[in-house]
Chains A and B, each alone.
Chain A
């Protein structure tokens, strides 16, 4: 594997299960059993009800492109412009930030609300990142 130069997440006790699942190429999110709703990012309490009856549940990896921007400047170490940062609206409700891949980084090629699906990039032995690409 080529040397990975982008920032690597350092899992915390709260987020370790998320990253462990990503390493298996499974997108799992915390689910509050009291609210019967997913939330993101992972934390020890539900941000709605403040309860701690949290389960990890697997998600479909499908969603829509809530928003995006095409980065023409090196906004983060290791990234080569132009590249596309995005926020995905997951089918299960929460939104997460990602890099949109598998698409030409041009305004004409990308639109909000287009369907997207997860794809995986192994960054290290421990970390595999959930990226997204146009669905289908």
Chain B
């Protein structure tokens, strides 16, 4: 079955405010983002017959249905961390093409910053029956910076990736944020600023690490026939792939590889386009390293060559490899699971809605989100007519 152009993203938007939003809860954000995304698509709440969420709280999908006042016939709580929402697009594609639903809403809302006081001090945070509770937490590994840093260190050792290579990503991404009025971090940033900043988890300086913010977003996915008569021009799903290789750092088959190599190949194979055809690249940058290794795994350069490939501000505005054009998780927003915002930015670029940061002639986008500890990825090839 040829799945190209069988579904489209018809609506995409965020909460009215992103950044530091202490007066909203996650479910308020989800609902507001859904309302905004439906308005963007020109659809009504009553049109929605499928709901996709990845909120970590129990029964979150059912809860959001009740809150929204909808009774969908299809629901999916697939939770792969930050990649969930990109993977949801593939699941929606399957469900729509199977005739099980016709208008799918993927919703996200998270108070990574303002919710911190509700979570309290880090207590390990693991179910004691899980492997990480016995074989990682007792040795001092905890938040993402403590584990991604170990993956990055092995990459640096094996391939000669340097702190300067990582800093290139932070600086280029900041330059995009400077063109985006909604970005949280818009002050100028230099390579030297990054290299002289304090360590969070060596080899990561603070500017190698993403923001922690509050934000929500949603996208509306519909079948091809419906897509053609909606408010905005459809953004077609041309290719999709997902892949899961492990959960914990301990279980990672190779610390320098990520499942993006599989999800990427699947997506490019389905779309039938080459890497060179891609106009704009939106990938997860929980850390500078995450973006760098993802570019390798997606096949935009040889394995291990991500550092040299992205050097000399190649991914910055004006470079020939525009990447993370909203300013990324590093400088735009990152409430915890960032994949939703990657998706929204790709849609906006392909619609030509990006103002100063618009990539001229953007017709094909490659989107990849990573979740967990480089554990599970979703890749999409999106295209405009």
Contacts and interface: CB of A to CB of B under 8 A. Distances in A.
Contacts of B80: none
A10 B255 CA distance: 26
B350 to A, nearest CB: 38
B146 A85 contact: yes
B154 interface: yes
Nearest to B136: A97
24 contacts: A7-B126, A9-B134, A10-B133, A12-B129, A12-B134, A41-B134, A41-B135, A68-B153, A69-B149, A69-B153, A70-B201, A70-B202, A71-B149, A73-B143, A75-B143, A76-B141, A76-B146, A77-B123, A79-B140, A96-B135, A97-B139, A111-B157, A113-B157, A123-B138
A112 B134 contact: no
Given A68-B150, A107-B203, 4 more contacts: A72-B198, A85-B146, A97-B136, A97-B249
B150 A67 contact: yes
B121 interface: yes
A86 B150 contact: yes
Interface string B5-46: 000000000000000000000000000000000000000000
Given A41-B131, A69-B146, A85-B150, A129 B138 contact: yes
A45 B28 CA distance: 44
A70 B134 contact: no
A83 interface: yes
Interface of A: 6-12, 15, 40-41, 66-77, 79, 83, 85-87, 95-99, 107, 111-113, 123, 129, 131
Contacts of A9: 133-135, 137-138
Contacts of A87: 150, 249-250, 255
In the complex, the 10 A-B pairs of residues with the closest C-beta atoms, listed nearest first:
A69-B149, A75-B142, A70-B202, A112-B157, A9-B134, A67-B154, A75-B146, A76-B142, A7-B124, A10-B128
B67 interface: no
B122 interface: yes
A119 B204 CA distance: 28
Q: Which of A8, A9, A69, A72 neighbours the largest number of chain B CB atoms within 10 Å of its CB?
A: A69
A81 B153 CA distance: 18
B140 A10 contact: no
